[in-house]
Structure 1
Amino acid sequence: MHQKISQTPILLSIAAGNSSCCIFRVPKSFVEINDECYQPQIVSIGPYHRGEPKLRMIEEHKWRYLGSLLDRKKTSSGLSLEEYLKAVEPLEIRARECYSETIGLNRDEFLEMLVLDGCFIIELFLKVGKLVPFEPGDPIISMAWILPFFYRDFLRLENQIPYFILECLFDLIMEDGQSGPSLSSLALEFFNYAMQRRDEDIAKFHDLKGKHLLDLVRKSFIPFDHDGDQRHKGPTPTHIIHCVSKLRRSGIRFNPAKEETFLVVHFRRGVIHMPTITIDDFMSSFLQNCVAYEQCHRSCTKHFTTYATFLDCLINTASDVEYLCDRNVVENYFGTDMEVAGFINKLGKDVAFDIQRCYMAELFNNVHEYHKSSWHVQWASFKYTYFDTPWSFISALAAFILLILTVLQTFFTVYPAVRGDPVKGQG
């Protein structure tokens, strides 16, 4: 018993509660919902999935890339592998503290892993960015299926190394006077092959830094004026907003908005303005890992958690997805409308969310107040029921004409009797 009392936690270390800790095992409740979104499929980065048999193929190519990098740099700057290991050695303790689990690698193994994985990532960024040529016939670029897996695997929460390790290695690799893009620019351009954002939208992030690659890309979606979650001022927003179909019945409409990021949503005069979001294999994985990161890290803002909760409120059924697709708010490259609805509902499941401390608190409150306004609901419900589609309008018009004809027939039957006019045929 005394031994257990003095035992140091391993699976969730004491350091996991510090702001410096930023690379976590995904909570079991999230993994049970969708395990594949958190598990690397082709490449291991960092210690959590190191040595897994299914990831051995790319592990061999890591050493090949490291060898080509060392050969190239040896001619230009004379740096050997030992110099790279010595450069990251003072960062070992700081790097270990970034992981929520106690890492069971000794010093040499841990440093080797950091250098091998970090150099592989940077070398791949340089090659894809056309600053360094690919070797002829390199299967990583010649086989079309491989790179899309890298885009996703490099942005999984459990598959990270600290960003300051990447910066340290990048400075060594680029120290021979080369002028060129920053590490963050190279990284964002690499992932932009999957995200397809406008070049001007990512060019401004030249000096952006993150805790790791997932955090870097996550931060690039957060507007500069959204530097943190703030407590909502005014009436306490105690209600989650309703789904699309119910909001439409109360007269609320959805329009696509021209914003730099899908996180910026506005509500004005009964219209929710939402920038278009593309739901595909990459974005679904990215969103889930961002939410998992925000749920685990004590100091980061909760923008993706808030947005995921917002989508989960809006979407209940396939018809909700269909309407948002028709309004160009959602672009569906994920599957059927039902599959998108299922994904969104999983995205918001078991998520801790504080509506009073989120950046959408005012929007939640304003939409709820608009929805509960009785005259809005009654008038909009009437329009939704009778004028939402051409067929419903034709049916309502036919019923109205039938009602008028019935009234007229009754009138012309009853009116002569009321006036006392003689019935025809009697004399």
Structure 2
Amino acid sequence: MELTNSITSEKFDHSQCPASRPCIYKVPKSLFTVKREAYTPLLISIGPLHYGRKQFKDMEELKSRYFDSFRGRLVSLRKDHLLEEYKAFLESEETTIRSCYQKSQLLDSIKSDSFVEMMQLDSVFIMELFLREDDDYHCKCKNHINKEDDYITTRPCLSKSIQKDLLLLENQIPMYVLERLYKTAAVDFKKHATFLDLAKKYFRSWDPCSELTEKSKDLDHHQILHFTDLIRRAYVHNPKDLGYMKDDNNQNPNNNKKKKDLHQDCCFIRTASKLNQAGVSFEKVRHRRLLDIRFETRPFYGYLLCFGCCPFPWSKFFKARIQFPELRIDHRTECVLRNLIAFEQCHYPEEPYICNYVSLVDSLIHTKDDAELLVEKEAIVHELGSDNEVATLVNSLCMHVVTNKTCYHKLMGELNEHYNSNWKWTMGTLRRVYFRDLWRCSSTFVGIAVFIFAIFNFYRVLRGFPLLVT
């Protein structure tokens, strides 16, 4: 998936991270206090927001070894001057780089020389790490590095933990800084056109649809700010597919009021169990992005939901279906979603797609029974201990999350309209009681046939009764 074009200019494109607006933030306290370990790096500090903490001292030594290894290869190629050029670039861009971070006392306390050295060390460490994880790089530079002796790449648990730390919102450096290093000093080692391509390959296992490395023309012109933004872009494939209700102030005020009322009515939906009782089916779909949830029902056939369980190909026309791309939940999911939510709360308050998605799932799951239903339908696949843990996890994600709009307003409106229909409730009850599966469906048809046959015989007896009397 191509998420951006290669950087063609030597200078930083200030539209990518404007000085008037930071793109790397401290997690709001309201979110941080819910589960602080989800936002705090465990092994390694990147950037100024966790700079100088004692618990990362061991990894600072590893950064230095990686830096020496990277510089050693440049020395062997007689291109060690490239690192000096990169340092000069960091010095010239220091003010711009600082403006990419939310202002804090710690950031202001870091002196200019220390800030530049930190950015250079962290950038080279990330570059060296990504290159070492690239098999093609090892084939080309096997004489310079032995992968079997590498401290990180030979320990999967450590490697995954560092990957997680590199995704945290507070643990970022601007993407353009890494792109510049890749263009400047990795010229003899690089295979990919841009550093972003290398980053997509490194983080491919964190993409919810496993398509982070595939090409997609829809996202060619998007600017990726940092790694957290990269993962968000993997979740939000094409924002145009998730349309918000547009506010048009030039239209009739009555229409605007109607839209606002509709938006307010659609903020909440019933749980998965309640919707299922009203005849709504949950169906896992493949080859669709995670946030692309749809509700499908036919205008006429939807009034005969009880026939949706019949074992015939055409029975799908009678179903009211929520098409749900599979959500995989493991020990990493909570950390990723929490940081994406925090990033949207700070940087994308007008486009909170991840927040909307998590809020929708939270509305569907209130209890263990709701989670059990979605797991049974394979809409959710998890590696947790029980379905109750899934419900607990989902319900905790939206604590203190505030949004003023949702991209699922149409979906919610259709679900509420369906749920509030007495006829569809009746059809849903019939389906649940008499048409739940093949055997119950066939038994119901046999019972109906026997009942009709009995009425027919009774009617025939009544017609013949006067003749018997005569």
Shared fold (TM-score, shorter chain, > 0.5) = yes
Partner SS for 2:81: coil
Residue number in structure 2 paired with 1:210: 224
Deviation at 1:55, TM superposition (A): 2.2
Partner SS for 2:42: coil
Deviation at 1:33, TM superposition (A): 1.4
Question: CA separation of 1:299/1:349 partners in 2, compared to 1, >3 Å: closer, same or farther?
Answer: closer
1:71 partnered with 2:81? no
> Which one of 216, 232, 250 corresponds to residue 278 of structure 2?
250
Structure 1 contact 202–220 (Cα < 8 Å) conserved: no
Question: CA separation of 1:107/1:125 partners in 2, compared to 1, >3 Å: closer, same or farther?
Answer: same
Structure 1: 5+ residue runs without aligned partners? Answer: 1-15, 405-427
> Which one of 181, 184, 198 corresponds to residue 169 of structure 1?
181
Structure 1 counterpart of 2:240, one-letter code: H
Residue number in structure 1 paired with 2:360: 310
In 1: Cα distance, 2:368 partner to 2:134 partner: 39
Residue number in structure 2 paired with 1:86: 88
CA RMSD of aligned residues (A): 3.2
Residue number in structure 1 paired with 2:463: none
Question: CA separation of 1:200/1:141 partners in 2, compared to 1, >3 Å: closer, same or farther?
Answer: closer
Deviation at 1:232, TM superposition (A): 5.0
Number of residue equivalences: 386
Question: CA separation of 1:301/1:213 partners in 2, compared to 1, >3 Å: closer, same or farther?
Answer: same
Question: CA separation of 1:260/1:70 partners in 2, compared to 1, >3 Å: closer, same or farther?
Answer: farther
Question: CA separation of 1:386/1:35 partners in 2, compared to 1, >3 Å: closer, same or farther?
Answer: farther
Percent identity, aligned pairs only, is 29
In 1: Cα distance, 2:288 partner to 2:202 partner: 18
Structure 1 contact 252–272 (Cα < 8 Å) conserved: yes
1:286 partnered with 2:336? yes
Q: Residues 269-325 of structure 1: CA distance to partner in whole angstroms, max 9, x if unpaired?
A: 121111111111222211110001000115662110110111111111122122111
In 2: Cα distance, 1:49 partner to 1:121 partner: 16
Q: Residues 139-158 of structure 1: CA distance to partner in whole angstroms, max 9, x if unpaired?
A: 21122210111221111111
Structure 2 counterpart of 1:217, one-letter code: I
Q: Residues 209-241 of structure 1: CA distance to partner in whole angstroms, max 9, x if unpaired?
A: 311110012112223352876325885232311
Residue number in structure 1 paired with 2:7: none
Structure 2 contact 344–354 (Cα < 8 Å) conserved: yes
Residue number in structure 1 paired with 2:121: 116
Partner SS for 1:253: strand
Q: Residues 30-52 of structure 1: CA distance to partner in whole angstroms, max 9, x if unpaired?
A: 12211111111111111111222
Question: CA separation of 1:364/1:137 partners in 2, compared to 1, >3 Å: closer, same or farther?
Answer: same
1:96 partnered with 2:98? yes
1:183 partnered with 2:195? yes
Structure 2 contact 328–382 (Cα < 8 Å) conserved: yes
Q: Residues 81-137 of structure 1: CA distance to partner in whole angstroms, max 9, x if unpaired?
A: 433211212221111111112312111111111111111112111111224335341
> Which one of 426, 430, 445 corresponds to residue 378 of structure 1?
426
Structure 2 counterpart of 1:44, one-letter code: S
Structure 1 counterpart of 2:397, one-letter code: L
Q: TM-score w.r.t. structure 2 length?
A: 0.74
Structure 2 counterpart of 1:99, one-letter code: Y
> Which one of 237, 245, 249 corresponds to residue 223 of structure 1?
237
Q: TM-score w.r.t. structure 1 length?
A: 0.81
Deviation at 1:377, TM superposition (A): 1.4
Residue number in structure 1 paired with 2:160: 148
1:322 partnered with 2:322? no
In 2: Cα distance, 1:180 partner to 1:337 partner: 42
In 2: Cα distance, 1:183 partner to 1:157 partner: 19
